[in-house]
Each structure stands twice: as structure tokens, then as C-alpha cells.
Structure 1
Amino acid sequence: MEGKKRYILKLEERYWRRRREGLLRSLSGKIVRSFETMPYLVIELNQTEVEQIRNLRGVMEVFEDEQATTQEQQIPWGVAVLAGPQVASQLGVNGSGVRVGVLDTGIDLQHPDLKVAGGIALTGDSFQDDNGHGTHVAGIIAAQDNSQGVVGIAPGVELFAIKALNSAGSGWYSDIAAGLEWAIKNRLDIVNLSLGGKQNNPLLRYAVKRAARAGILLMAAAGNAGNEEGKGDTVLYPARYPEVMAVGAIDRQWQRAPFSSTGPALDLVAPGVEILSTIPGGDYKVMSGTSMASPHITGLAALLKSAYPRLKAKEIRQRLTAGAIDLGSKGWDSWYGYGLPTGIQVLGKRKPR
């Protein structure tokens, strides 16, 4: 049996009302809609009936009806779990006044849901994203609250693109170190590093220490080197360094993602499975990884800094861990760190004085 589809009939404009009345009678039960002032009919037909209708006198054209969908702004599930924007709205903060760097593959400079204040290209000729990873990370942190697309945790931050990874998503440790040096020089407050490598490196270690001493809060993906059993010390560098907050990934059930790295260096966890965010070309995509978890905490840290500008990086770090919901074994553990921080726990319910 042929399936029916919804079609639009365009009637000959001369005497179209008379033609319409005739068709309404002959096609009774098939008409979906008629119009008072336009020479069109909407009708449900199968393919055989369509060919028959095309030959009727007074029918000029037959074409399929199309559907439109709502385009309102969405709050991705990870953003909702942290409840950052809701609490921040109550407190009157959105990350404004906080300078955040995304050390990654760059950021799409033309994306309508992102506002990039500046940046540097340490690979290639521009800090325009030629991979997509950095744009996705940036959207989790700072997608604009503009009634379209998605909204980030802290849409009011000053967002900087530090492009140290190439179009394939890889980059030299030395370029990452140069990116941290740039962050120090440009007085950034927080730098997100959704990247990782298995090897320690003296230059990277030195750059991390310098950035931390300069008062920059460093947030990094713990790594996707974990295993189903959650065994072993698998946190990658630079998340493994003590000056950096290592963030693992959880799913919608607040369970550790099987790929999420584990070990003594793990500090916190955040949503990192099926995360909707921005990608180049003005589009949106779902991605998974600890790369998606880290920017959730970066955004929350930016809200905290915005609400309490005098807080130092060390104090923000302490409040994030103190405001975490304990998951897994009681207290700190190698799967979840200190747990999942939320806006309510970290920011409080009262407006800052």
C-alpha cells in the first residue's frame, strides 16, 4: 500500500475560487487545508493520486509540503546539571569581567553563538578553528545567551582563542607552553586545556608552574585513556600536574564514562557524554570526551570569579572542590575525584556584596 504524503496544489489564478469549490467536492476527505485569499489547496495523496491530480483542469502545479521546526535556544544537559546560568542569573552574574582562554584548535570567529575577544595562532596563520574541537569547547564555556542555538555556562566572559593544535587536533608541547606564556602576558584569569599527552615534559612543566604563579587557574581534561574497569593511573599531562585541575567525564546518570581517565591526580568530574555545543560553520554537534567535561568546570569557575572578583585561583579551586557533590566512594576517589560541583553549591544563593 502506497504511503500518503502532504502536497500543495497551485490552482490557475483565473477563476481559482470556482476551481477550488469543485476540487473540495471531488476530493472530499483528502483536503487538509484551503485558503480564503490564496489559490492553493493542501491535500494528502499517494504517488498514484499525485499523477492523476496533475492532469486535472485548473491545477497548475503540485509539490510537496515542507516542515519547519522551532529554533529556540537550548540548554544542553550538562549546563543544566551544573545549574550555572540559573543560579548566576539569580545572582546577577554571567562571567563578565573574566578573561578565559581556550588553548585548543582555535575558535570559529564567525559563529553567531560565540564572541571571541582575541587570540593567537601558534600553529597556522590564524586562530580560526580548522578542526572543530576548540569551537565545541568554547561553546560549552561561553555560547551566547541570545535566543538561538545553545547557551554556555558563562556567556559573559571575554573569550580568547589560543590555537596550539592543528587541523588534525594535535600539537607540540612547546606550542602549548607558548600558549601559556601568551596567557600570562595577556593577563588571562582561566585557561582551559582540553588536550593531553602521555609524556611529562620539562618545558611544559615549567610553563604550567609559571602560569600558576601568575595567578591563572588552569583546567584540563583528565584524558580519555581510561578503561571499563576504572583501573590504573591513566590521567594525562598537563592535567596530571598538581597546579592543574584534572576533570573527568560522567554521563547523564552521573556515572563515570568508561573512557574517562582515573588516578590520584583526578580533581573533579563534569558532564562529558553526548554534549551539544557549537562547531564551525554556525552549526551545532553532539560530542563526548573529557574534553567536553573540562570546559563545564571552566565556565563554573568563571561565574565564581565574576561573582567574587577578588578570589585568587587557589581560592576558586578550593571552592570548586568544597562545592562538589560526592560521587562514588565516600570522599575523594580515583574515579570521580571530589565529585561534581554545581552552581548552587559553589556560588551560593545570596548575591555577593
Structure 2
Amino acid sequence: MKAAGGVLVSDYAQIGVVIARSSDSNFAGKIERITNIDNAVATQSFGVQLRDTQATSDSAAATQAAAAWGDTLSGLQWDMTQINVPAAHQINSGSRSVLVGDIDTGLDFTHPDLAANYDARHSTNCVSGAPSPLAVGNDANGHGTHTAGTIAAAANGIGIVGVAPNVKIAGIKAGNTDGYFFPEAVICSFVWAATNGVQVTNNSYFADPWLFNCRNDAEQRAIWNAERRAIGFAQSKGVLVVAAEGNESTDLSHPAVDTISPDFPPNSEVERDVTNACAVVPVEVPGVLGVTATGNLRLKSFYSSYGISTADVAAPGGDSILQITAAAPNGRVLSTYPAANACVRKVVDPTGATYCYLQGTSMAAPHAVGVAALILSAHGNMGSGQLAAAVQGATRPLSCPDTSIYAPFPQSSGEPQTCQGGAEHNSFYGSGEVDALQAVR
């Protein structure tokens, strides 16, 4: 590598992947000519930005509510009531022996709802491709702080309560300030989780330069193989990988068109036909638990992607158009947020702690992660496959709805959203919406 003009960033020998840096535009070609190198690809222009849907239809967020359970803002947590979190906490609210890794844009570990559960020793910043300590202010995006709160916000009388408020949470920063997750950061994150005692990871993002990663292309195949190996390595160490299904209203089991990739540099996306030879990372990697989003009426959210082969469970992610209710007046999910970050729908606790309403499958996945953490807390350690099955068993089955309500929100191909399967397993909800009470019983 040195002879070819490169500098080593990280050597992940466990999975046969090396991350290097070079200013030589011909570096990848030189490396590929070396015996036993399968593929080499430049990643500097790669990354898929977070796409948490921002619907134009909205109503004002309620800023005050009498807390029927939990902390000062728990009255606004329709999502927790919907999956029976208050009842579950009467039995088990999580064990300090359980460690969750939130692979995201970082997290604000100074937030009063996260500080008590933050595990600094097992947290890291993987953005460069090599692990380094998380610094104060590491989540300038805010997305990671939001997902972390849904998983493990403390029951401390302040703000909100997470699904598993007594478990430990590690921040594994893979997304940069602009919300891009580059391949080297994703690989670093899963190797870190595998070697640092993490039992469940939340993955509310897409990796790779393209939303659909087509393995018949040499560059895309190289990244697919490296990321798949990293995820597989984590799974082999007992890590359950939970991933958001996506916000493109697309049937991932029958993809036809990709209109948003590559989305870095900005305005570089092209429309291309895709097939099942193309896959979304991490949700379509074997063994990953895929999560679709629901709203307060227990319908699939208008934006949520889905698929009979990819949707394993559903969880509250919010729906600001089809599922506005008295309990969810703006349809979105409230969770922790850095005080310094801009938020359109901000709520501030009387103590000054800051929270934000967002919607997306990014918000759904951490609910399922929290349920997985409760299962580990109540029933002890288990392998990643056994835990995935347990999460799918701790669900409330939901049948396919009347899909005519999704007519204004077609797939990118122009085809309508359709639901396949029965109540026991279908493309919209998998085995059903997660249920925290079932998880701890």
C-alpha cells in the first residue's frame, strides 16, 4: 500500500478489509493490481444523506400535557403508550448489564435524559474510518441524540422516558454533521460494536453511495462486500443489528427505480432501473432486523418503505398526514435533542432540557431496539438470531390495511403501494408492531 502511494487508516484484519487514504487518483487501480486484493474503490464522493421525511401538512405541536405516566413530557409520548411501555416498566425497565450501541450521527451525552445511561468507555467516533473518542458537541446534526433518547432516555423526572430507561447506551458516531454515512465509517462502527461488548445496534440510516447497492458493478460490489463482512462479523459476536426500512415509500422486495442516488456531491443523483440484484445496506444484509414505521392509528406511515422479505417488525415512527390524532396532534415522535441544534418543532422541559418532534423509519427502529434491550434485560443473554426471533415474537399482529389511502404517495416507479401477506407476516408490518409488555413477560 505504501509503495502504491497510500497511507493506512485502519486495518480490519478480522474481516479482511483495509481503509487507506491517498491523494493519488490512480491509487485504487494500483492497489487492485496487487495479488490477493479483491477490489479497491475510492469513497470520498460516497454517502447517502439521512432523509427523514418533512411533510408540508402539519398542525401545531402541543407543548404542554399532563403526564399520565413517566416524566414531565411523557404525556406527549403517544408512541410509548401505543407499544405498552408504561405497563412493561411495571415489570422490567431494563438492566444495567445490557449495552446498546447507537450507530448514528453521535449523541449529546450531556443531555440530562442521556447522561446517566451514557457509556463513555464503549463509545467512539468512527467518521474517519478509525475509532477515536467522542467529544462534547459531537452530534451537530441532532439525529443520533433523538434516536438515543427513544431507546434509553432515563426515567428521572425530566422530559421523556425511553423504551428501556435503565440500560446502558454507547454512541458510535458514523454519520457526519450533514448526515452522510460513508463506507469507512460504517465498517469501523460494526467492528467496534463486535469487539466492545455491544449487544444490539440501532441503525437509522442508509450506507453506500447509492440507496440501492448493485452488486454487478465492481465499485458497488467492493463496498457491499466490505460492509456485509463487517455486519456479519458483528452478528457472529452476538450483536443484533436493527435497521430502519427507509422513507422512500418503496417495496424493497420488488425494487424498480432508484431516483435519489448517488446523492453526494449534491445534485449528482441519476434515475436508474434496479432489480433484486441491488440491495439497501444495512436493512437488506442477511440477519438484519428490518423495521417499518407506523403512526398513531397503527397504520403504516405514508412514507415508510416496506417489503415481504425485508420488513420484520413495525414500530412507531410518526405520520404527519394520515394519522393526526388528539394524542399525536402533529403526528410525530418526541425525543431528546441537543439544545444548540435547530429544530422546527422544539419542546423545552421546565428544567431547560431540549426535545424535538421528528418522523421517519429512523424514529421507528430505536423503538424495536429498546424492545430488544428489554428482552435481554428480562430473559438474559442470547444469540443475535435468537434475539431477532424474540423481538418478532413480541409483537401485535397487524393485517394489511386498505392501501387506497396511500394513493397520493406512490413508489418512485409510479406504482401504487401494495401490501402482501396475512396478519402473521406481511410486507407492511412484518410479524406486527412491537409490544414492550410482551417483551418482558
Query: What is the TM-score of this pair, normalised by structure 1?
Result: 0.74
Q: Which residue of 1 aligns with 2:90?
A: 90
Q: For 1:183, what is the secondary structure of its paired residue? A: helix
- Count matched residues: 279
Out of 213, 218, 223, the residue aligned to residue 241 of structure 2 is 218
Q: Which residue of 1 aligns with 2:333?
A: 275
Alignment deviations for residues 200-259 of structure 1 (CA, whole Å, 9 cap, x no partner): 4111100011111110011110111215x9994498320111211000101100001121
Q: For 1:102, what is the secondary structure of its paired residue? A: strand
Q: For 1:270, what is the secondary structure of its paired residue? A: strand
1 CA distance for matches of 2:252 and 2:283? 17
Out of 105, 122, 128, the residue aligned to residue 126 of structure 2 is 122
1:241–1:147 Cα change, 3 Å: same
1 CA distance for matches of 2:193 and 2:240? 11
1:259 aligns with 2:303: yes
2 CA distance for matches of 1:265 and 1:136? 24
Alignment deviations for residues 119-153 of structure 1 (CA, whole Å, 9 cap, x no partner): 11122774521100000000000111011110100
Q: For 2:190, what is the secondary structure of its paired residue? A: helix
Out of 351, 364, 371, the residue aligned to residue 300 of structure 1 is 371
Q: Which residue of 2 aligns with 1:342?
A: 435
C-alpha displacement at 1:190, in angstroms? 0.7
1:230–1:335: 8 Å Cα contact kept in structure 2? Answer: no
Q: Which residue of 2 aligns with 1:63?
A: none
2:99–2:169: 8 Å Cα contact kept in structure 1? Answer: yes
1:142 aligns with 2:142: no
2:204–2:363: 8 Å Cα contact kept in structure 1? Answer: yes
Q: Which residue of 2 aligns with 1:285?
A: 356
C-alpha displacement at 1:96, in angstroms? 2.3
Q: Which residue of 2 aligns with 1:209?
A: 232
C-alpha displacement at 1:117, in angstroms? 1.1
Alignment deviations for residues 73-116 of structure 1 (CA, whole Å, 9 cap, x no partner): 415111111223431x3324424210001000000121111122
1:256–1:112 Cα change, 3 Å: same
C-alpha displacement at 1:343, in angstroms? 1.9
Letter in 2 for 1:169: G
Normalized per residue, the structure richer in helix is 1
1:102–1:191: 8 Å Cα contact kept in structure 2? Answer: yes
Q: For 2:179, what is the secondary structure of its paired residue? A: coil
Letter in 2 for 1:266: A
1:239 aligns with 2:249: no
2 CA distance for matches of 1:309 and 1:317? 14
2 CA distance for matches of 1:120 and 1:189? 16
C-alpha displacement at 1:69, in angstroms? 9.0
Residue range with higher mean Cα deviation, 334-343 or 294-303: 334-343
Q: Equivalent residues in 2 for 1:24-63 (5 A)? A: none
Out of 423, 427, 433, the residue aligned to residue 330 of structure 1 is 423
Structure 2: unaligned runs, 5 residues or longer? 1-63, 214-223, 257-278, 319-331, 340-352, 401-421
Q: Equivalent residues in 2 for 1:111-190 (5 A)? A: 111-115=111-115, 116-118=118-120, 119-123=123-127, 126=134, 128-190=138-200
1:308–1:69 Cα change, 3 Å: closer
Q: For 1:187, what is the secondary structure of its paired residue? A: coil
Out of 384, 397, 412, the residue aligned to residue 313 of structure 1 is 384
Residue range with higher mean Cα deviation, 241-250 or 120-129: 120-129
Identity of aligned residues (%): 32
1:299–1:69 Cα change, 3 Å: closer
Q: For 1:219, what is the secondary structure of its paired residue? A: strand
C-alpha displacement at 1:323, in angstroms? 2.4
1 CA distance for matches of 2:202 and 2:252? 25
Q: For 2:72, what is the secondary structure of its paired residue? A: coil
2 CA distance for matches of 1:216 and 1:208? 9
Query: What is the TM-score of this pair, normalised by structure 2?
Result: 0.60
